[in-house]
């Protein structure tokens, strides 16, 4: 066995993965901003593009059938890029007000990151938030015990997910290569595609994820059979987006990384 051919860097997403159960802060703010503009989108419609850089997310919402039709009905014209800019400014201002409240580390994050560091792994992160938003997130997460070694936003690269450039920047800052020694961990299909586009492994998390789309209260109250069906559907969506593994909880991550190390030892690489 090649003991050097192992995972060295774990790159986490933020909202829905390490903080903000269900990625509720951006979902809530998108709903507020679009409702104020006269557009009423479902939770599923709002969450579908989650993981993208936020201006790209707004374009996706305006481009979906419901968003496009409602905009045309409300304003009597198609949307333009200046409309995206205006909505983004409102989104940014509103999110900046609420994001800190949702930035405590999720259950199991601090203990899992500590275990990974003890195993010699470096901890990176990428996000759809910009630097200004992260100024609110980072102190609250740190106060709760979670501080990654590296934080990369779309401001650093000029382009967000699903491009691989934020993940490459993490690799650069942490001096880790090749990409098969890196795993991206997230809660959206865009996270999985980011990992795939970089040539890294990707792992999707179910509990607390945007993809599962449940609040803690909804998760606890849901009948077991229905919850299992929701998880099976979310797992399939992760796999279709390129996930190498899907785990139920972040607490399962150390064992998942050991599985990837076994695959690497046998010459396997990340799925394309």
Q: For the chain, what percent of residues have pLDDT higher than 70?
A: 98
Residue 97: the pLDDT is: 82
Provide mean pLDDT across the span 126-135. 94
CA distance 44 to 211: 9
Instruction: Specify the 3-state DSSP secondary structure of 176.
Output: coil
Of 54, 55, 122, 184, catalytic: 54
Provide mean pLDDT across the span 36-52. 94
Of 13, 20, 187, 252, catalytic: 13
Residue 269: the pLDDT is: 78
Whether 13 is catalytic? yes
The architecture that CATH gives domain 9-23+103-265 is 3-Layer(aba) Sandwich (3.40)
Residue 2: the pLDDT is: 43
Tokens standing for residue 99: 């994001």
Provide mean pLDDT across the span 16-45. 95
Residue 4: the pLDDT is: 79
Domain edges within the chain: 9-23+103-265, 24-101
- The burial of 28, by beta-carbon neighbours within 10 Å (0-12 exposed, 13-18 middle, 19 or more buried), is given as middle
Instruction: Specify the 3-state DSSP secondary structure of 143.
Output: helix
Please indicate whether residue 96 or residue 262 has the higher confidence score (pLDDT). Answer: 262
CA distance 247 to 256: 8
CA distance 235 to 212: 9
CA distance 50 to 33: 16
Model confidence pLDDT, tens digit, residues 84-123: 999 999 999 998 888 988 999 999 999 999 999 999 999 9
CATH number of the 24-101 domain: 1.10.150.240
Phi and psi at 136, nearest 5°, equal -85, -35
CA distance 13 to 55: 18
pLDDT band at 271 (very low <50, low <70, confident <90, very high): low
Tokens standing for residue 185: 């961990």
Whether 155 is catalytic? no
pLDDT band at 74 (very low <50, low <70, confident <90, very high): very high
Kindly report which listed range (26-40, 90-104, 199-213, 244-258) carries the lowest average pLDDT score: 90-104
CA distance 157 to 91: 21
Whether 51 has a pLDDT exceeding 60, the answer reads yes
Whether 1 has a pLDDT exceeding 50, the answer reads no
Residue 272: the pLDDT is: 66
pTM of the model: 0.89
């Amino acid at each position: 066995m090649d003991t050097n051919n192992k995972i060295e860097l774990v790159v986490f997403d933020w909202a829905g993965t390490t903080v903000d159960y269900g990625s509720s802060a951006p979902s809530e703010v998108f709903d507020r901003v679009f409702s104020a503009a006269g557009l009423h989108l479902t939770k599923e419609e709002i969450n579908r593009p989650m993981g993208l850089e936020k201006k790209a997310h707004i374009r996706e919402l305006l481009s979906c059938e419901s968003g496009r039709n409602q905009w045309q009905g409300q304003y009597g014209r198609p949307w333009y890029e200046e409309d995206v800019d205006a909505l983004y400014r409102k989104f940014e201002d509103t999110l900046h007000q609420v994001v800190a409240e949702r930035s405590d580390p999720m259950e199991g994050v601090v203990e899992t990151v500590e275990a990974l560091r003890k195993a010699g792994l470096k901890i990176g992160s990428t996000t759809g938030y910009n630097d200004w938003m992260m100024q609110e997130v980072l102190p609250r997460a740190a106060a709760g015990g979670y501080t990654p070694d590296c934080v990369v936003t779309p401001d650093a690269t000029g382009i967000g997910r699903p491009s691989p450039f934020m993940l490459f920047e993490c690799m650069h800052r942490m001096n880790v290569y090749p990409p098969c020694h890196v795993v991206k961990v997230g809660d959206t299909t865009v996270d999985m595609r980011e990992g795939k586009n970089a040539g890294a492994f990707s792992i999707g998390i179910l509990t607390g994820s945007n993809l599962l789309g449940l609040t803690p209260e909804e998760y606890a109250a849901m009948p077991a059979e229905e919850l299992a069906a929701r998880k099976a559907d979310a797992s399939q969506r992760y796999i279709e987006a390129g996930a190498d593994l899907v785990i139920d909880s972040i607490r399962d991550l150390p064992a998942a990384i050991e599985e990837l190390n076994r695959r690497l030892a046998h010459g396997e690489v990340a799925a394309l």
